[in-house]
Amino acid sequence: MSKSINNVSARPVDARPCDRLTGRIAVPGDKSISHRTLILGGLTVGETAVEGLLEGEDVLATARAMRALGAQVERAGEGSWRIHGCGVGGLGEPADVIDMENAGTGVRLLMGLAAGYGFTTFFTGDASLRGRPMGRVARPLERMGASITARSRDRLPLAITGAVPPVAITYEVPVPSAQVKSAVLLAGLHAPGATTVIEREATRDHTERMLRAFGAEVSVEAVDGATRIVLQGQPELRPTSIRVPGDPSSAAFPLVAAACLPGSEVTITGVGMNPMRIGLIDTLVEMGADIAIRDPRDEGGEPVADLFVRGARLRGVEVPAFRAPSMIDEYPVLSVAAAFAEGRTVMTGLAELRVKESDRLAVMATGLAANGVAVEELEDGMIVTGRGGRPAGGGTIATHLDHRIAMSFLVLGLLADKPVTIDDIAPVATSFPGFLDLMTGLGAAFGQ
């Protein structure tokens, strides 16, 4: 039997056909914002109070890493955390290798942070993370003066010795990546002068927003069709209070399930509505989904709203490639909606999905086909042809330790004629602890 990310016996789960979903729920806190809150809170002098922090395994790995670097990071209650930082430049050399488990975002951001210190930090991770590329983060950090030694093909484990101070650079990101941009900006906190990142395609801007919330001087402007982000280095970051909004990538699973099942009526409260994170909502609406955005508001510099979704008949669409950065993590569950919709849904510009926790394009295509869905895998995407109703189902899915693959196929099981089984539920704790209980509360049924 396969092993989970915790190295315990795998726990298969099957999702059973569901008539409808109803209820009001809140999803866990945003994973991207949770990582950044822990890191930036550790660079202040004083206490940062956090509510709604995602307590998934990826974020907890970042919390442990910040403790290893010298910050005080303590849990005060469910989702409630207190961070006492050391100031910019005040962190210390960790006594041991930092194990980031499966936290790809966490390790890439922390590489940027470590690039500003003269000591050596060692990073490793689980089998999945050790197979994922780190070179696109390493290259700009080396330009800033860091020395990085990694396994072949720029894989973990790796050692990074930072520069004191790092060199402020102007860096044009070669492919859209919020993680690369954020790593450069975090290194730039320690550099005298201005660090500039240029994006030809805009990516999620949580780092820029949060840097401002913590007192850094960050400017963003459009120049010659690109976005130019400029950070003034060596700021004094001030502690603040952060309320983490619900993660739109987690909301995607109940959202898709309810959108596809006639008779469903589900409200998802307090979801982050950052313009660079709502591509899935735009796409589902184009497919005919009945989604209403209610009570839009601002919390901690991030737009937030409640989502009300009712089941409707969906149709296939061609998803524009430029939308990919705003929904890159949601394509697996979008392909499930496409399997339920009538006609072809074409998704391209998704080469990034091949280097996530798994090769998500290959895994989704294989899994959909095993459940009777017509799917064509492309080099940078896939074409899913739905039959305007429930797909056959009945398949068993190898999740490859990928939380989004696991949850996507559990949603498929709710929509299919026959149950769908995943080989291991454990990876879901990476980003969505309590997923089964939350969905069961809406009317879903699972077996173990």
Strand 120-124, strand 155-161: pairing: antiparallel
Please give the structure tokens belonging to residue 382. 């896939």
Question: How many angstroms separate the CA atoms of 268 and 73, rounded?
Answer: 29
- Quote the Cα angle for 364-370-373, to 5°: 75
C-alpha closest to that of 427 among 399, 403, 409 = 403
C-alpha closest to that of 202 among 367, 344, 326, 387 = 326
- Tell me the helix, strand and coil percentages in the chain, rounded to 5: 35, 30, 35
| Residue carrying the six token digits 């059973």 | 16
Mark whether 329 is an active-site residue: yes
Residue 82 near residue 48, CB atoms below 8 Å: yes
Question: How many angstroms separate the CA atoms of 397 and 424, rounded?
Answer: 9
- Distance (Å) of CA 77 to CA 51, 52, 55, 82: 9, 10, 11, 10
Region for residue 23 given its phi and psi (left: phi exceeds 0; alpha: psi -120 to 50; beta: otherwise): left
Question: How many angstroms separate the CA atoms of 1 and 10, rounded?
Answer: 7
C-alpha closest to that of 2 among 102, 121, 127, 105 = 127
Residue 257 near residue 307, CB atoms below 8 Å: no
Residue 74 neighbours by CB distance under 10 Å: 12
Strand 342-347, strand 318-319: pairing: parallel
Q: Which of 30, 58, 306, 329 is catalytic?
A: 329
Question: How many angstroms separate the CA atoms of 170 and 189, rounded?
Answer: 14
C-alpha closest to that of 134 among 159, 169, 98 = 159
Cis ω on the peptide bond leading into residue 165 (within 30° of 0)? Answer: yes
| Residue carrying the six token digits 């559990």 | 410
Question: How many angstroms separate the CA atoms of 246 and 288, rounded?
Answer: 24
As annotated, the active-site residues are 329
